[in-house]
Structure 1
Amino acid sequence: MRPRRLAAALGTLAAVLALTACTGMPAPAPSPTGLNSGADCGLPDGVRQTRFGSDIGADLGGIILGDGRTGVVLAHQNQSDLCQWLDYGVVLVQRGYRVLLFDFGGFGVSSGGSSTNAQQVAAAAMVLRADGATSIVLMGASMGGTAVLIAAPTVTPPPTAVVALSAPTVFSGNALDAAPKLTMPVFYGAGDGEGSFTRMAKELYDLTPATAKKLVYGPGTFHGVSLLDSGTSPLTLALTDFLTANAPALPPATPTS
């Protein structure tokens, strides 16, 4: 490097270091493996970053918590990101589940390309299974609820159970076409005062042939994830019973010597 260019580079570096010292701000650090998903959530210890979706033309960021053999994919609502599900995800981990929370393309840190929401959910299920989950639950709220319903018939092996809270019948795909194909246990939830969402939950429930299906209404206009805000609400307790009966938490596999 020529003397003048070297001097200029050293001057720039000195200026950066001086600014860092004056402001007390740390120098930029590399992001963790993945896309640094959930950076604004206040993530708990033990979070593992994951990045996936290249096979469907997407670049999706997510986090994995827990090590149980029953995995739960948590799909968020419109105009939100994975942080929305974090509190309930931690509850599931405490019960022995492994969970994957991710940002849909166009939200949080993710870009979806031409992939559909349902394709992104299916890709998340594959990641969770590759991480060690031997059975998968697909759980989504509002937009995410529609996505898990549409994704469920396309996932191989099929999900053990599906949970859709306040799911519209149509959002980035048509859940009315998917519901008749759902043969696994399905839990539908909505607020009893949610208007069209209350009606659509019943419509999807009626179209679902699964014998172990359940429809539970929460109070008032609570929507999606907020239906679970109270850990002792009838809907939250009903969901816990549903998971225990149809997709119980299985402990981590015992290492073989």
Structure 2
Amino acid sequence: MRRQAVGLMGLLLLLAACGGTAGSQGAGPASPSASGSTRGPTAVPSPTGVNIDGCVTEETGKVFEYTRDGNTTLGVIMGKGSAGVVVSYERRGKVCDWLPLADRLVDAGHRVLLFKRNNMVEPEEDTVAMAERLRKEGVTKVFLVGGSMGGRLSALAAGALTFPVAGVVSVSGVVQPEDVAGLKAPFLQVGGDQDGLAPLDMVQAAHDAAVKSADRRLVTLPSRDHASQLFTGDQGSKVLDTVMAFIKKYRD
């Protein structure tokens, strides 16, 4: 019994020396401050006021409300210019994931509309409504860009709009051949050659079906990344450059 008590006391002393207590995990090292003292990591404050997913505020652009079928959500229009891009994100994505592309587009003189999907009942209607909103804002050339299911929604919306779109871009899109069989607008597909969610045979079938497109292109890069993950992966710069070059060609 005495040996057990001594052993327990030694364990407690050892934990105390390491800064922990029995049954706990020690905290990471504190960061030195400018004065030489130590403190824990500084928390990033959440944005106040109207914001979308914590990454888009009224400083980012013109935030608006959008209502369909009794459901209200938010969107934002960034930048200026006569050419505009509507972005539809992937199923498990969010507006924030597409800011790398949106920022590039704004810097190049485009307007960009990012929005939170309203609901999953005919979601392409949201993309249609966003394209119509850009037209009312004075945009004369509208591009539809989307990732994964957002790529398919962009293709479906292009066929439902009453005005022709300047181009459709599908990033790792799950576009079906029938979605683009009647598409006349230029059509770009970009994806990774090892993407299990948007396999090569799927995107190739969509490419082959888009025979009426003014310019159909299929660009595959060595990557497993899917949709917006491509922007921050190893092929990020190539993907962004490819999309930007396509939009620039049909904007001018």
Work out whether the TM-score is over 0.5. yes
- Report the Cα distance in structure 2 between the residues aligned to 1:71 and 1:244, rounded to whole angstroms: 11
Q: 2:210 aligns with which of 199, 208, 221?
A: 208
- Native 8 Å contact 1:73 1:125 kept in 2: yes
Q: Deviations over 1:111-157 (max 9, x none)?
A: x2x74111110011111111221110000001111110111111121
Specify the alignment match of 1:183 in structure 2: 184
Specify the alignment match of 1:239 in structure 2: 243
- Report the Cα distance in structure 2 between the residues aligned to 1:57 and 1:224, rounded to whole angstroms: 29
In structure 2, relative to structure 1, the CA distance for the partners of 1:48 and 1:140 (3 Å cut) is: same
In structure 2, relative to structure 1, the CA distance for the partners of 1:39 and 1:166 (3 Å cut) is: closer
In structure 2, relative to structure 1, the CA distance for the partners of 1:58 and 1:151 (3 Å cut) is: farther
- Native 8 Å contact 2:191 2:226 kept in 1: yes
Q: Deviations over 1:70-112 (max 9, x none)?
A: 010011111222111122111100000000000112xxxxxx2
Greater Cα shift, 194-203 or 206-215: 194-203
- Report the Cα distance in structure 2 between the residues aligned to 1:223 and 1:93, rounded to whole angstroms: 23
Specify the alignment match of 1:14 in structure 2: none
Q: Answer 1 or 2: higher relative contact order, Cα 8 Å, separation at least 6.
A: 1
Q: 1:78 aligns with which of 77, 91, 115?
A: 91
Specify the alignment match of 1:59 in structure 2: 72
1:60 Cα offset (Å): 3.0
In structure 2, relative to structure 1, the CA distance for the partners of 1:37 and 1:73 (3 Å cut) is: farther
1:218 Cα offset (Å): 2.0
- Report the Cα distance in structure 1 between the residues aligned to 2:154 and 2:192, rounded to whole angstroms: 19
- Superposition pairs of residues 1-257 of structure 1, within 5 angstroms: 31=49, 36-41=50-55, 43=57, 45-54=59-68, 58-105=71-118, 112=119, 115-169=121-175, 175-195=176-196, 197=198, 198-209=200-211, 210-229=213-232, 233-248=237-252
The percentage of counterpart residues that share the same residue type is: 26
Q: How many residues align?
A: 203
In structure 2, relative to structure 1, the CA distance for the partners of 1:212 and 1:132 (3 Å cut) is: same
1:57 Cα offset (Å): 5.1
In structure 2, relative to structure 1, the CA distance for the partners of 1:57 and 1:152 (3 Å cut) is: farther
When normalised by structure 2's length, the TM-score is 0.73
SS at match of 2:181: helix
When normalised by structure 1's length, the TM-score is 0.72
Give 5+ residue unaligned stretches, structure 2: 1-47
Coordinate RMSD, CA, aligned: 2.3
1:160 Cα offset (Å): 0.7
Specify the alignment match of 2:24 in structure 1: none
Q: Deviations over 1:3-54 (max 9, x none)?
A: xxxxxxxxxxxxxxxxxxxxxxxxxx8x5xxxx3425115483411112243
In structure 2, relative to structure 1, the CA distance for the partners of 1:214 and 1:57 (3 Å cut) is: farther
1:240 Cα offset (Å): 2.0
1:68 Cα offset (Å): 0.8
Give 5+ residue unaligned stretches, structure 1: 1-28, 106-111, 170-174, 249-257
1:239 Cα offset (Å): 2.0
